[in-house]
Amino acid sequence: MEVKFHDIGEGLNEGEIVHFFVQVGEKVTVDQPLVELQTDKMIAEIPSPIAGTVKAIHFETGESISVGDIILEIDDGREKTVSKEAKYEDKQVVPLQTEKKVPSENNYKRILAAPYTRKIARDQGVDIEKIRGTGPGGRITEDDVYQSIVVDRPLSTTEVVEESVMMDVPAATIREEQAADTIPFKGIRKQIAKNMSHSLQTIPHVTHFEEVDLTNLSKLRSELKETGDNISAVAFFLKALAIALKEYPLFNAQLDEENDVIRLIKNYHIGLATNTKNGLMVPVLSNVNKKSLREIHEEMKALTKKAQEGTLSMAEMQNGTFTISNVGPIGGIGATPIINHPQTGIMAFHKMKKVPVVMENDEIAIRSMMNLSFSFDHRVADGATAVAFTNRFVELIEEPKKLLLELV
């Protein structure tokens, strides 16, 4: 059985071999991970399609491969019908050292750790199976690996000497050497750079800023929480966006310049820009307009968790029609988000804070305010349309009970 690098869609034609879990001569079972690959968008494991013995490995760790390349071969033993005489002759030809059973250093054992965390452990020479995870469910985190290095690995004699020598080196020399350090620019980070550059070079971006009063929404969320329904504010944002996008379809569209048409998409699949240790990931929450607030909340949590753990499938990152970026928990009062080409809009939500606001009766009240940034494709829509779209979204959020009037 030839195990190949299959086409996984999204235009991903190449990948880099990060790690082999098996060696030649090692027995494997069905679905046992064989190799870990880094594509432009994700880190993925290729499992064994059959049970058998690894017969050959055709690439080395760190090599790049293309779709269709045979990574390794597995012998399932079903074609071994040779005679005893042939077996005896084979034994005379095979060099003695190949018959020695070398214990595999990569015996498969499922551990709770993301692929990127395991890679750090391998690079640092740390046995990840001996680390006690502090993450949810005992998951091993990146910090656990680094902490293990500090606690368990004393300085060698060479390292002690090097450290003492460094103390005598002028500070200017140290800074000069440190300036030469590099980090890899490939994989997900390189793909992000390509996408962002292509978007900015192709789409004339315009960003509209607005502020939203979340006081009523916060009150409604508190009331729901008392009844056992803890619904995040972003779930309300997504529902309001689906309604506003239906009324202003230019922002749920794609510009087809080749055919001179703007395609108004009738599905509302909203991407959730998520910050992860592997870079920016954008899982897609499908058919937001057809889901309840509770369904939106639960599915959004599940997708975000998968993104942070590096377990998203390609299907969960495809077909987005609009994107949001919730940077509020991190901080910041404004930004100019870059559109996820070929979409026509992206909205970013910034941190909420309580501030004194002059109300319509000229009284001053303390309100929970949030800024938002809406970037749109100026080839497809004008500023007036963008402002009207944003105003409709703000209306639904500031008076969240109006959402009830729009529910299907």
Tell me what pLDDT residue 79 has: 61
Tell me what pLDDT residue 161 has: 44
User: In the chain, which segments carry CATH 3.30.559.10?
Assistant: 187-406
Tell me what pLDDT residue 170 has: 58
Please state, in angstroms and rounded to a whole number, the distance separating the CA atoms of residues 57 and 65.
Answer: 13
Positions annotated as catalytic residues are: 378
Q: Residue ranges of the chain with pLDDT lower than 50?
A: 81-109, 155-167, 174
- Residues with Cβ within 8 Å of 135's Cβ and at least 6 positions away in sequence, in order, are 112, 141, 144
Instruction: Please name the fold of domain 187-406.
Output: Chloramphenicol Acetyltransferase (3.30.559)
Tell me what pLDDT residue 178 has: 54
Among the listed residues 392, 386, 357, 359, the one whose alpha carbon sits nearest the alpha carbon of residue 373: 386
- Residues with Cβ within 8 Å of 2's Cβ and at least 6 positions away in sequence, in order, are 70, 73
User: In the chain, which segments carry CATH 2.40.50.100?
Assistant: 2-108
DSSP string, 49-102: SS-EEEEEE---TT-EEETT-EEEEEE-STT----HHHHHHHHHHS-GGGGS-P
Four-residue CA torsion sign, 139, 141, 147, 148 = positive
Contact 110, 101 (CB under 8 A): no
Other beta carbons less than 10 A from residue 93's beta carbon:
6
CATH (residue range 2-108): 2.40.50.100
Tell me what pLDDT residue 140 has: 82
